[in-house]
Structure 1
Amino acid sequence: VGPAVVIDKSAEAAQDPDFLLEPEHFEQWQQEHGPFPENCWVIFRTGWSARGGNAVDFMNADDAGPHTPGVSAAGAKWLAGNASISGFGVETVGIDAGQAATLDPMFPVHSFLLGADKYGVTSLRNVDRLPVTGATLVVAPLPIVGGTGSPSRVYALVESPASTASEPGA
């Protein structure tokens, strides 16, 4: 359980399915919205969940493999090194980009983020309905003994604008 911060690069992912988040994207977000809150979940909004009803579109593969947005090696290292971040969530099938096998190191989000005892969640839906800030993410995995992964129920608690007023008429 922790605050969600949403990094919206859906326009970039629509133009380039191999789009990668870099450290400057995280830093730019913080310049605009303030520092990441403690224990936060960084959610990467790409618009990819709209493809979820069609396996071929969702995987977006060709002879070179899948083409889905993700995080560069430098971006993954940046995420792993940020003490405020508990986890990272994506709308795609994996926490790494579709072409992550071609990066150095291969599958950097798995390598850096999971190696830093942070969490990753995939195939998120309705990310387009989350505010950039102001939601709390709840991730409830199944307790699989000895497992390295688990299906999870992931949901967000979003404060309604009306509930932020301290008194009537405020």
Structure 2
Amino acid sequence: MGSLDDVAARLVDGTIEVIDLTAPLHADTPILALPEPFGQTEPFRLHEISRYDERGPAWYWNNITTGEHTGTHFDAPVHWVTGQDGDDVATVPPSRLVGPAVVLDVTDRVAEDPDFLLEVDDVHAWEAEHGPLPARGWLLYRTGWDARGEDPAAFANADDDGPHTPGISVACARYLAEETELLGLGVETVGTDAGAAAGFDPPFPCHGFLLGAGRYGLTQLRNLGRLPARGAVVVAAPLPIVGGSGSPARVLALVERTS
């Protein structure tokens, strides 16, 4: 891109576009529901402190309650038992919050099968067309699931057998963790694992393998369809919660526009 001055100038003139990959955070934002007896996260809530009234005549502000893993959020390694000795969200090096990104798009296959799982061969086929996965970069997994983001029931897509949402196979999760130099994995669903991943062997392989390898997760992303297959730069900005396992995040992509 040239010097930082060049980048700044191109941000101003729009030839580098900033695309928001973040879902709006509100009371109806879908959250992950675990089966009993496991503990549950709290939905997002605003609690008004004052709004230009007798509680504070010139200012409006709120307290908030929510879980660390609500809405578009960042998973730190310590979130999972396999990464318990790794970084919490406050100790992730800032340099690892910015990196190149590629988009692997399987929306057509997910439209036919909401339980679709990405396999290693799919990754190799993508690389044959677009080049290698980026070292110290993000793999963004586009499934089209963000279109359901304002409908919690459609987003969960659950029946008596549990949720039916796309994800990544056990073998592919292991491959991404052990055979690539990715920073992490970004998805459009409520978590980095498939809806059926509780029944995999091992269960929740994206969490187990990737966080155990010191990688990161980004979830509930939007607007991946506006990104090129490769060439974007992602800025993932979680709150530096000391001891935190994750945080809601504002995730932005920088994309070069030539016209």
The residue matched to 1:7 in structure 2 has which SS? strand
Stretches of structure 1 that go unaligned for 5 or more consecutive residues are: 163-170
Residue 32 of structure 1 and its aligned partner are, at CA, apart by 0.7
SS state at 2:247 partner: coil
Q: CA deviation at 1:144?
A: 0.8
2:155 alignment counterpart: 58
Given the alignment of the two structures, is residue 80 of structure 1 paired with residue 80 of structure 2, yes or no?
no
Question: Who is 1:18 aligned against?
Answer: 115
Aligned pair partner of 2:132 in 35, 38, 48: 35
Instruction: Give the drift of 1:33.
Output: 0.9
Write the mapping of 1:125-140 to structure 2, written as runs, cut at 5 A: 125-140=222-237
Question: Is 111-120 or 81-90 further displaced after alignment?
Answer: 81-90
Aligned to 2:192: 95
How far is 1:130 from its partner? 1.0
* Contact 2:133–2:180 (8 Å) recurs in 1: no
Q: Name the SS for the 1:113 alignment partner.
A: helix
Percent identity between the two aligned chains? 59
Correspondence for 1:147: 244
How many residue pairs get aligned? The number is 162
Structure 2 unaligned residues grouped into runs of 5+? 1-97
Aligned residue identity for 1:44: Y
Q: Is 1:5–2:140 an aligned residue pair?
A: no
1:63-83 CA distances to partner (integer Å, 9 max, x unpaired)?
Answer: 111110000100100110134
Distance 1:103 1:17 in 2: 16
Match of 2:193, SS state, is coil
RMSD: 0.9
SS of equivalent to 2:176: helix
Higher helix residue share: 1
Question: How big is the shift at 1:128?
Answer: 1.2
* Aligned match of 1:104: 201
Larger Rg: 2
Flag as ranges the 4+ runs of structure 1 deviating above 4 A.
none
**Counterparts of 1:120 and 1:154 in 2: how far apart (Å)?**
12
1:134 deviates by 1.2
